Amino acid sequence: MRMADLIENKKQGGFHEASEIRFIIQGCTTGEIPDYQLAAWLMAVWFRGLSSAETVTLTLAMADSGTQLDLSMIDGVKVDKHSTGGVADTTTLIVAPLVAAAGVKVAKMSGRGLGFTGGTIDKLESIPGFRTSLTAAQFTAQVQRVGMAVMGQTADLAPADGKLYALRDVTATVDSIPLIAASVMSKKIAAGADKILLDVKYGSGAFMKTVSDAQALARVMVDIGTGAGRETAAVISSMEEPLGTAIGNALEVAEAIDVLSGSGDARLTDFCVLLAAKLLRMAEPKLQLPEAMARSRNLLDSGAGLAKFQEFVAAQGGDARVVQERELLGSASRSLELRAEQKGYIVRMDSSDLGRAAILLGAGRAKKGDAIDLTAGIKLHRRCGDYVGGGDLLATLFFGETVEPAEAKRLIRKATHLAAEPQPVVALIAGTMDAAGW
């Protein structure tokens, strides 16, 4: 079997047999297939796609490419929540502590930033001392003891995905439904959780640009999870505007702490309460959604979620004082206020342009292996639906000494669309899905 032949076959729209997909993933894992051939295959898949059978085979082969975590020794139901990626998406840092505070075990494996979307691991590493490299034994022990743990993808857990994930980031093949589905679900299966909630994003700041594409991705991932014996459900949510008001790693950690402290952005807070409630329902099927919502809100209002976050940070070596002392997260050496040049109602805030602006400021990666500035980013002071007058503060930019912010400023202005009259704000949630359908 030759990789060049498999690339040619897929380029022509052909079907891969299961043995061929396993050959590709084995060669990816061992290094026998070079990056340039894997990159060519990824592009062929982007153009030609994969069938349902090919996608399932790819997912399971990626999950089987290394060790799989055995969480059976942990008491109770183990849940995981995953977002397909967005701008200012800090939900993991909020939802996981809320759910863990309710006594439901959260076992999560996360990644780094991909394209213009931030990664949970990068965000957590902005906390001084925080360790994201855990052994399987450390991970499972912490989930049992603390109720939650978040670890970075290790070399022996779905290693094929780790390599393909990095290559997709630099070959413009991120936004492929089968590749996204296989990447997400291979990690979820390998990470061992019993039940999985997916937050599938659509819009300008997501890999899926339309609701229908997000629905298609959700359907594939729910089917993969169900077929692998893991109860899987999905929420379809909008990324037409940033989810929160902070874009950038340390800034997003601070915003997550604000939400858990009860003083965060209302839109982000309400969404996190909903996601937490859905996870509580998955762990306890007899629980009705209104009761689950009330329980989730109480965990937030009582401070139980914040206390669990602090315990989680300390358990992974981080300086838990960041909860009270945000300055421990560090601060960028330079900042700049961006003010409105015109007046009107904000009718659109293009998430992709805002995410790219954050990359230019140093908060994200333009190519594989780039270093990032954990303190860089953007703080938004206005949202869709808000009225701004000339000179009103739109955003604050944070960046390092060597960064020239002119292009980032241009992108932020380009992203912010004004109109003389207000327009309806796009609903955050477009639907939900489980094994039974919508």
Task: Label the pairing between strands 344-349 and 387-388.
Answer: antiparallel
Say how many C-beta atoms besides its own lie within 10 A of residue 25's C-beta.
27
Q: Are residues 318 and 339 in the same domain?
A: no
Q: Would you say residue 150 has pLDDT above 80? A: yes
Distance of alpha carbon 139 from alpha carbon 192, whole angstroms? 11
Say which of 110, 126, 176, 183 is annotated catalytic.
183
Instruction: Mark whether 333 is an active-site residue.
Output: no
Distance of alpha carbon 307 from alpha carbon 318, whole angstroms? 14
Task: Label the pairing between strands 195-202 and 344-349.
Answer: unpaired
Instruction: Mark whether 22 is an active-site residue.
Output: no
Q: Give the DSSP H/E element, type plus range, for residue 233.
A: strand 231-238
Among 63-67, 151-155, 206-210, the minimum mean pLDDT is found in: 151-155
Ramachandran category for residue 224: left, alpha or beta (phi over 0 → left; psi -120 to 50 → alpha): alpha
Sign of CA dihedral 96, 203, 178, 165: negative
Q: Is residue 427 part of a domain?
A: no
Say which of 161, 169, 258, 373 is annotated catalytic.
161
Q: Are residues 97 and 170 in the same domain?
A: yes
Instruction: Mark whether 409 is an active-site residue.
Output: no
Q: Is residue 424 part of a domain?
A: no
Q: Tell me, what's the pLDDT at 169?
A: 82
Q: Would you say residue 336 has pLDDT above 90? A: yes
Q: Tell me, what's the pLDDT at 84?
A: 86
- Tell which of 12, 33, 49 closes a domain: 49
41 or 438, which is more confident? Answer: 41
Q: Would you say residue 297 has pLDDT above 80? A: yes
Instruction: Mark whether 64 is an active-site residue.
Output: no
Q: Are residues 295 and 366 in the same domain?
A: no
Q: Is residue 68 part of a domain?
A: no
Read off the tokens for 242. Answer: 């940033």
Question: In 3D, which of 94, 86, 82 has the Cα closest to residue 262?
Answer: 94
The arithmetic mean of pLDDT across residues 77-88, rounded, is: 92
Task: Label the pairing between strands 377-380 and 393-399.
Answer: antiparallel
Q: Is residue 159 part of a domain?
A: no
Q: Is residue 428 part of a domain?
A: no
Q: Is residue 369 part of a domain?
A: yes
Q: Tell me, what's the pLDDT at 187?
A: 86
Question: In 3D, which of 402, 400, 408, 393 has the Cα closest to residue 354?
Answer: 408
Residue 342 lies in domain: 334-419
Number of H helices, E strands in the chain: 16, 13
CB 329 within 8 A of CB 127: yes
Query: What CATH number should be reported for the domain holding residue 359?
Result: 3.90.1170.30
Q: Are residues 133 and 280 in the same domain?
A: yes
Say which of 10, 168, 188, 278 is annotated catalytic.
168
- Tell which of 325, 359, 376 closes a domain: 325
Q: Are residues 111 and 226 in the same domain?
A: yes
Q: Tell me, what's the pLDDT at 62?
A: 97
CB 123 within 8 A of CB 205: no
Tell me what the pLDDT averaged over the chain comes to. Answer: 94
Q: Tell me, what's the pLDDT at 436?
A: 65
Distance of alpha carbon 160 from alpha carbon 24, whole angstroms? 10
Q: Is residue 313 part of a domain?
A: yes
Query: What CATH number should be reported for the domain holding residue 39?
Result: 1.20.970.10
Give the whole-number percent of the chain exceeding pLDDT 70.
Answer: 98
Question: In 3D, which of 340, 353, 430 has the Cα closest to residue 381?
Answer: 340
Query: How many folded domains does the chain comprise?
Result: 3
Q: Are residues 299 and 210 in the same domain?
A: yes
CB 75 within 8 A of CB 105: yes
Q: Is residue 55 part of a domain?
A: no
44 confidence band (pLDDT: 50, 70, 90): very high
Each residue's pLDDT tens digit, 235-290: 999 999 999 999 999 999 999 999 999 999 999 999 999 999 999 999 999 999 99
Q: Are residues 93 and 177 in the same domain?
A: yes
Q: Are residues 137 and 188 in the same domain?
A: yes
Instruction: Mark whether 383 is an active-site residue.
Output: no
CB 224 within 8 A of CB 185: yes
349 or 52, which is more confident? Answer: 349
Say which of 82, 295, 308, 356 is annotated catalytic.
82
Q: Are residues 273 and 360 in the same domain?
A: no
Q: Are residues 41 and 172 in the same domain?
A: no
Say which of 108, 112, 123, 187 is annotated catalytic.
187
The arithmetic mean of pLDDT across residues 330-359, rounded, is: 97
Q: Are residues 250 and 358 in the same domain?
A: no
Q: Are residues 98 and 243 in the same domain?
A: yes
Q: Tell me, what's the pLDDT at 156?
A: 82
Query: What CATH number should be reported for the domain holding residue 146?
Result: 3.40.1030.10
Q: Would you say residue 93 has pLDDT above 70? A: yes
Q: How deeply is 73 buried, as exposed, middle or buried, from its count of CB atoms within 10 A (0-12, 13-18, 19+)?
A: exposed
Strand stretches in 243-331, DSSP E: 246-247
155 confidence band (pLDDT: 50, 70, 90): confident
The arithmetic mean of pLDDT across residues 334-352, rounded, is: 97
Read off the tokens for 391. Answer: 């000179």
